[in-house]
Structure formats: structure tokens, C-alpha cells
Amino acid sequence: MKDLKYLAAFSIPLMAIIGLIFKGVWVWATPIFAFVCIPILELVFPIDNKNLEPNEVDTKLKKTIFDWLLYFNLPVVYSILIYGLLLVSTSSLETYELIGLIVSVGIVLGVNGINVGHELGHRQTTNERFIGKALLLPSFYMHFYIEHNYGHHLHAATPEDPATARFNQSIYSFWFTSTVRQYFSAWKIQIKLLKNNSLSFISLKNDMLWFTILQLAYLLAVFSLFSIKTFVFAVATGVVGFILLETVNYIEHYGLLRQQTKSGRYERVKEVHSWNSNHVVGRIVLYELTRHSDHHYKSSKKYQVLDCHEESPQMPFGYPTSMVLAMLPPLWFKIMNKRIPKEMIVS
């Protein structure tokens, strides 16, 4: 039964479905559940920093249920998205209902879309990577696959990394800098990959070109099949989805920096270069994303066997609570700045 605990990750899509069906004030069930109920639950449940024994790791890696729990997000996310598009195009919704649906579906695209796409993007099989990329599409963040795998994991916790928030940088500034820099970084990486393989820009191996075509095709299909209002809904939900991702990016490495060696190179990524949380509910809902240091230590390591490292900097709250606190920069700085190692602070 313990293996099925990750079914709790579908509680967010469930809240979104309730909002889509019942409308009215229920359209706000998803954000309230994600950023009010879950933080409260994280205060109630004890922190769990235990790691699996070697034999338990082997057992869990052999169980395909953990993989299928990820794959199932593909039909869930797209069903909710399509349902939302149809509902907006055929129903007369109040403004507060439309905004609530945008936020709710956007949260699903971020949590069960991009987050799961991130996990599958690190897998070795083509099918899993395909599902991962498909989950990034509705949020217009397919470039994340390239920048995250070939950029972020190389440059994390350095000024060169768009997804590492600087000391005293507000989340609102970070949303802009990270979004823009990651996109251009992805193109830079793609062009370099093409050049290294002696391929032209117009090539089947140019993933960024394909990503652009597919995402524009998605928007064109929505524009052609539905109303302008539905088109705006599709764009807005995608924006909410990737803003949610960038909020997670913000708290994952905020203020943490790798030191430079005498040669001018940065030290290798260590357990101290990511913020971690062992708050149980957030761990389960986010498929162990909160054990972020171990993920950077070995990116191919599957979510169900990620470890907690004692030397990793720990957040005082879970990721969902921390995301809310980040929205209040003075409070965020007051809580987090004193936790950053002094040698990492660059004035």
C-alpha cells in the first residue's frame, strides 16, 4: 500500500475536475487546496528524513507501478485541458469563474504537467522522454527539456544558470529573468548541439525548431476550433503553468552558489547547492522533487528512491508553503537569508 501513496499527486487534478464540473466558487478549489490545505497538512504531519535501505531501493526500482503513476499524468492532464477548453467555449462563465479555471488548470499543467515532464525528461528511453515533452507542450515550455538537461544541471548554483535565483532577488524579478534567459539558453545549446554533429539549422534533429512548430500548432488549433476567449484561456493556463515552475525553480537554489577553484572553474555540484524539504505531503504531491540535492547528484535517479542528505540545506517549510512565502519578498528574505552559508553570499 505504501507504493500507492503517490496517488495523492492526483489530488490536485481531482480538485480541478471538481471545479470544472460544479463551477461557481468550486473553481477555486485547486489553488485553495494546493496553497492553503497542503501547507496546513504539512504542519500537521511529521517530517520524514529516512532513506531507503539498499534492498528496498532494488525492490522499488523493479516495480513498474512507480513509472505508470507518471505515465498516467498524460491522459489526466490533457483530459482536464480539453475539458476546460470545451467548457470555456460553450458556457457563459462569470469573470471570477473564468479566472478561477485559468488558475486551476494552470496549476495542473505545472504540477502534473511540467513537474512530471521534468522527471520523465531525465529518463533514458525514447517513449518516456516523448511523454515528458508532451507534458511540457501546453505550458509552452518544451525548451525546458533542453535547457534543464544540458544547461541547468551543468550550471546550477552559478551566475551562469538562469534558473538559480540570486541572493536578494525577488521572485517577480526572477520570473522575468529566468523565463527569458532559459529560452535563449535553450536555443544556444541547441545550435551548439547541431554544430557539434555537423547538422544544419533545418534538421530533423533540431528539437527547438520542432518544439516551436508543435506549440504554435497547438495554439493555432485552439484558435481555429474555439473562440477568442478560449484561445486566451489556453494561453493564460500555459502561463500559469510555467510561472508555477519558475516559482519552484526560485526556491530550489535561492542564494546558493558554488565556489570557484583556483583554475577559475566552479566546484562540482554538491548536496549543499539545493534547498531541500522532507515535509511528507509536499514530497508525495511533487513526486519527491523536494529532495532536490540528490536529484542533482544523480539526475537519472528515479523519484521513488531519492535520498535525504544531512548536509543539504533544509527549508523550514515544505515547497508549497515556501512558494507562498516567496510571493512576499520581505518575509522570504527575512526567513531564508540567514540560512544561506556566509561564504555563498556575494555582496
pLDDT for the residue 297: 87
> DSSP character for 343?
G
Concatenating the DSSP letter of every residue in 142-161 gives: THHHHHIIIIIHHHTTSTT-
Which amino acid, residue 153?
H
pLDDT in tens, the chain (347 residues): 678 999 999 999 999 999 999 999 999 999 999 999 999 999 899 899 999 999 999 999 999 999 999 999 999 999 999 999 999 999 999 999 999 999 999 999 999 999 999 999 999 999 999 999 999 999 999 999 999 999 999 999 999 999 999 999 999 999 999 999 999 999 999 999 999 999 999 999 999 999 999 999 999 999 999 999 999 999 999 999 999 999 999 999 999 999 988 888 999 999 999 999 999 999 999 999 999 999 998 888 999 999 999 899 999 999 999 999 999 999 999 999 999 998 898 75
All residues at 6 or more sequence positions from 323 whose CB lies less than 8 Å from its CB, including other chains = 35, 244, 247, 248, 251
H helix count then E strand count, the chain? 18, 0
Sign of the CA dihedral running 14, 17, 21, 27: positive
All residues at 6 or more sequence positions from 90 whose CB lies less than 8 Å from its CB, including other chains = none
Contact 182, 147 (CB under 8 A): yes
Listed residue (134, 90, 127, 136) closest to 109, CA to CA: 136
pLDDT for the residue 222: 98
Listed residue (16, 36, 28) closest to 109, CA to CA: 16
If residue 73 lies in a helix (H) or strand (E), which one and from where to where?
A: helix 73-90
Q: pTM higher than 0.85, yes or no?
A: yes
How far is it, in rounded angstroms, from Cα 246 to Cα 32? 20
How far is it, in rounded angstroms, from Cα 177 to Cα 174? 5
Number of compact structural domains in the chain: 1
Q: How many residues does this entry show for the chain?
A: 347
How far is it, in rounded angstroms, from Cα 255 to Cα 168? 7
Listed residue (276, 296, 274) closest to 286, CA to CA: 276
Full domain range(s) for residue 76: 2-344
How far is it, in rounded angstroms, from Cα 32 to Cα 37? 6
pLDDT for the residue 347: 55
How far is it, in rounded angstroms, from Cα 141 to Cα 137? 6
